[in-house]
Amino acid sequence: MKKAIVILLALSLSITSLAATIEERVQKLSLEEMQSVIEFLGHDLLEGRAPGTRGGQTAEIYMRSLFKWMGLRPGVGDGYMQPFILNGFTLRNLRVKAGELPLEYRDDIMGTYTGPSEHFSVEGDAVFVGFGIATHLWEWDDYKNIDVKDKIVIARVNDPGLIHEDLFEGKILTYFGRWTYHIEEAARRGAKGILLIHTDETAGYGWHVVQNSWSGEEVFLPSDVDNNLEFRGWIKESSLQKILSAQHIKLESLYKKSRTRRFKPVPLGFKVKLEGSVARRELTNHNVVAEIPGKTRQRIVLSAHIDHLGMDEGQTGDNIFNGAIDNGSAVAAMVLCARVLKEMQRDLHYSVTILACNAEEAGLLGSRHYAATTDRETIVANINFESTPVWEETSDFMGVGARFSTLEDVLKEVVQGEGLTYSYFSMSDQGFFYRSDQFPFARYNIPAMWISAGENDASGLKKYPNFWRTDYHTVRDEYKSEWPLEGLRQTVKLTLLLIDRLNKNKTAPVMKKQIPFPLYNK
């Protein structure tokens, strides 16, 4: 009995000691250490870190150098770089007519041609497809097996829950409300093109974000453009209203029809014609991957994307999208976690993979490639960092998407143990779980979340949600030396405590049975 008590006491002291070590180690992180990665990745010399550019390649090399400097083991055979091929398309000019009315590129319409020709002419009958959603999860089918092959479909973004809170997940945007899904579904249906109707409310951001995000080179995995869909883009709601008015069609009447399960696609009685030219190229991009071996092959994957939007050559003045917060601060959080974990390697039960993934802004392409090609059977969980807060500490902490697995139960214990409130992102109506690199892991039924300090900062100014409303995907997302970075420190600390708790539990988290998005086939 005495022996058992001694063993339990020793184990208790060991657990307390390691938690105390994490607390002490994180508190010793200097402001300069936390600044360094953000300052470098957000510098003008990296030109916005777009995939396949000099700045993007510099970011890859920088991450490889950091991993080497920290003594992390290569994560791709005997190297750190995981290559994957992308197809790049840069629109040179675009002329659009809907019926007899012209549309102005940038003012009325944004988009990308991904067909086989350098000079293109795409024409098709316009069809309104409502939300363009077809899923058995909510018994919803906007297409009703009506053939839209070679048509130009016009679709709402978001999902019916935006209008009726008893549909889908109510105000919480689902995977089926994301613009990426609407495009994927149109491609599956054989459409020739798709125009997504933009409003600030349904998209969750202004037209300027669409302009900034779609103005440079657009990159795709080859499999994503191996279909009949040659044009994918956005149209302003006000511009569409003018076109429909010329056809004596009221957009609000179409919207009203699309609000029920009885909706069927509506032919609009005019053609859309898109002409222009595009520069095409094939480029090799890289995820940068490292490993910290633990006592078992089972592993936790830490991820953060290193790419951003690059430069807008057509914009005067400051035209570099530096992405200091999106996603420099998140990469800094991941690197600092890796550094501390390396120092504590002998205490790790699970191995840890450090994944600096690429082409997130183009549709989670790097994380999709990694999740599709890695040994998924060894992955216990994915903890992703995205746009980590750079301001003061918060009284709350969140795991975006943790609710889909038992990972949330463990995180809640850690958060409450630190005297914080476990919270849910107030902007969940914008579907953030589906917009960053945790999502491809979740679609393979792997517990995954985006981890972050919360919104309730000491100043009461709600700086984190304000960033998403004002500076997200703009040239204003620049490094600032005056940031206190305590929210970043807090994120690092809670992540390490979570990993420590998972290591101590030695019971892998699991996905819940009811999840509101489709899984990939394993």
pLDDT in tens, 394-433: 999 999 999 999 999 999 999 999 999 999 999 988 899 9
Whether pLDDT at 12 is above 80: no
pLDDT in tens, 377-395: 999 999 999 999 999 999 9
Other C-beta atoms within 10 Å of 70: how many? Answer: 16
Asked whether the beta carbons of 453 and 388 are under 8 A apart, the reply is: yes
How many angstroms separate the first and last alpha carbons of the chain?
48
CATH architecture of 20-79+293-505: 3-Layer(aba) Sandwich (3.40)
Whether pLDDT at 9 is above 70: no
Asked whether the beta carbons of 322 and 310 are under 8 A apart, the reply is: no
In a 3-state reduction of DSSP, which class is residue 452? strand
What type of residue is 39?
A: E
In a 3-state reduction of DSSP, which class is residue 283? strand
pLDDT in tens, 301-350: 999 999 999 998 878 899 999 999 999 999 999 999 999 999 999 999 99
| Mean per-residue pLDDT over the chain, rounded | 94
Q: Give the integer Cα–Cα distance in Å for 106 and 207.
A: 9
- Reported in sequence order, the residue ranges of 320-455 that DSSP labels E, i.e. its strands, are 320-321, 351-357, 379-384, 396-400, 421-423, 448-453
What is the pLDDT, as a whole number, of residue 124?
98
What is the pLDDT, as a whole number, of residue 522?
61
Q: Give the integer Cα–Cα distance in Å for 236 and 267.
A: 19
Q: Domain locations in the chain?
A: 20-79+293-505, 87-280
Whether pLDDT at 8 is above 80: no
pLDDT in tens, 94-115: 999 999 999 999 999 999 999 9
Sign of CA dihedral 489, 441, 204, 326: positive
pLDDT in tens, 48-106: 999 999 999 999 999 999 999 999 999 999 999 999 999 999 999 999 999 999 999 99
**What does the DSSP 8-state code read for residue 328?**
I
87-280 folds as Glucose Oxidase; domain 1 (3.50.30)
Which stretches of 121-236 are DSSP H helices? 179-188, 200-203, 207-213
The H-or-E segment that residue 341 falls in is helix 330-343
Residues in the chain: 522
Q: Please report, rounded to a whole number, the percentage of residues in the chain having pLDDT higher than 70.
A: 96
Asked whether the beta carbons of 280 and 87 are under 8 A apart, the reply is: yes
Q: Please report, rounded to a whole number, the percentage of residues in the chain having pLDDT higher than 90.
A: 91
Q: For 206-232, what is the mean pLDDT?
A: 94
Tell me the chain's radius of gyration from C-alpha atoms: 24
What is the pLDDT, as a whole number, of residue 399?
98
- Predicted model pTM: 0.92
Phi/psi at 139 (5° precision): 50, 55
Whether pLDDT at 293 is above 80: yes
The H-or-E segment that residue 489 falls in is helix 486-505
Q: Give the integer Cα–Cα distance in Å for 100 and 98.
A: 6
Confidence of residue 506 (pLDDT cuts 50, 70, 90): confident
